[in-house]
Structure 1
Amino acid sequence: MILKRLILIAIVVLFSCSHTVKGQAPDAVKKTFQAKYPEENDPDWHKDDHGYYEANFKIDGIKYRADFNADGTWVETETSIDEDDLPDAIKKVIKEKFDDEKITEVEKVESATKGLFYDVEFKRKGKNKDVEFRADGTILN
C-alpha cells in the first residue's frame, strides 16, 4: 500500500514538472513570438524551470526552442546542430583543449544579451559541462 502511494506521488510530481501551457502563453509573449517568427503559427508552449515561456517549433524541418519572459521579452532561441556544423575556429579550440572529452550535444544559440554563440555540452561524471563559444573560438564561460 505504501509503495503504491509512493509510486502515485512520484507520477504526480513527474507530470507536474512538465508545465505544459499550450495556447496559454500570455498575449505579450504570443505577440513577440509572432513578430519574431511570422512563418510559425502553432508552437508548443511550456513554462520551463526558469519561469520562461518556451516555444517549441519547426521551420523548414529544423527544430527550434525560443524562450520569453512573461512580459513578452525575447530571451533566446536555440537549435540543435551537428558537431560537424560548428565553425572551424571552435573545432580547433575543442581539439586543443577538450580533445579527450566526448561531446553529448551542440546548440546554436541566439541570445538577447549574449548575441550569437554555440553551446557545446561535454560528458562529465555527475553533471555534464556546457562550454559557450563565439564563432571565432573564444570561450565565453
Structure 2
Amino acid sequence: MKKFILIAATAFVSMASFASVDPITGKVLEAFRTEFASAKNVQWKSLDDAGLYQATFSFRNTELSAFYDAEGSLVATARYIDKASLPIMVAKAIQEKYPEHVMKNVIEHIANGSTTYHVTLHGVKSSMIVSASPAGNLSVFKKIKNKL
C-alpha cells in the first residue's frame, strides 16, 4: 500500500504523461461519482505501474486529483495549496533547514487518514521536493542538481 501511495504522490508531483483512460467504467467510476458527485471537468489517467486510476477534476472551486485502485477504493487525494496555507510547523521547519531555497509549489496529499505536504524548493545549487508531516518532520523526496 505504501508503494501505491508513493507512486500516486510521485505522479501528482511530477505530472508525468500517463496513458489516458476514457471513459472509466465499473467500480472505479461508481465510487468516484459517489464521493465527488458535483465534480466538473473530470480527466482520467491510468497509472499502470501502480494499478491505480487518477481522476483530475474541479470540486468546490479547487482542482483535485483522486487516486483509485481497480476495486474502486479511494487510495489518496491530492491538491495544490497556497504556501501561506502550510501548517506553521512545516513552514518553520523548511525555513530553518533550507533557508537558501525558495518555496514554489505545495501539494497536500491525503492517504490512509494521514496528510503529507510535498513542497517544491528551488535554490542556486539544487532544487528538491521535500515531504513534510503536519508536525514539521521533513524528508527529501527528490533532489535535482541545478545546471550552472
Report what 1:135 is aligned to: 134
Whole-angstrom CA distance in 2 between matches of 1:96 and 1:140: 14
Q: Does 1:30 align with 2:44?
A: no
Q: Contact conserved, 1:34 with 1:41, CA < 8 A, in 2? A: no
Q: Does 1:59 align with 2:79?
A: no
Structure 1 residues 66-75 or 131-140, which shifts more? 131-140
Relative to structure 1, the CA distance from residue 64 to residue 123 in structure 2 (aligned partners, 3 Å threshold; closer, same or farther) is: same
Query: TM-score normalised to the size of structure 2?
Result: 0.70
What is the root-mean-square deviation in Å for CA atoms of aligned residues?
A: 2.6
Query: Given residue 66 of structure 1, which amino acid in structure 2 is its aligned partner?
Result: A
Residue 95 of structure 1: how far off its partner (Å): 0.9
Whole-angstrom CA distance in 1 between matches of 2:92 and 2:29: 40
Secondary structure of the structure 2 residue equivalent to 1:66: strand
Q: Contact conserved, 1:26 with 1:70, CA < 8 A, in 2? A: no
Query: TM-score normalised to the size of structure 1?
Result: 0.73
Report what 2:97 is aligned to: 97
Larger of the two Rg values belongs to structure: 1
Report what 1:6 is aligned to: none
Report what 1:20 is aligned to: 20
Residue 35 of structure 1: how far off its partner (Å): 2.5
Calculate percent identity across the aligned residue pairs: 22
Q: Contact conserved, 1:134 with 1:140, CA < 8 A, in 2? A: no
User: Residue deviations 1:21-80, cap 9 Å, x none?
Assistant: 122x24111122122222226621111354421101111221001111122122211100
Whole-angstrom CA distance in 1 between matches of 2:101 and 2:139: 19
Query: Given residue 66 of structure 2, which amino acid in structure 1 is its aligned partner?
Result: A
Q: Contact conserved, 2:100 with 2:123, CA < 8 A, in 1? A: no
- From the two aligned structures, give the one with the greater strand fraction: 2
Residue 123 of structure 1: how far off its partner (Å): 3.4
Q: Does 1:116 align with 2:111?
A: no
Q: Contact conserved, 1:45 with 1:55, CA < 8 A, in 2? A: yes
For structure 1, the 5+ residue unaligned runs are 1-16
Q: Contact conserved, 2:53 with 2:69, CA < 8 A, in 1? A: yes
Whole-angstrom CA distance in 1 between matches of 2:103 and 2:135: 19
Runs of 4+ in 1 over 3 A off after TM superposition: none
Number of residues of Structure 1 aligned to a counterpart in Structure 2:
123
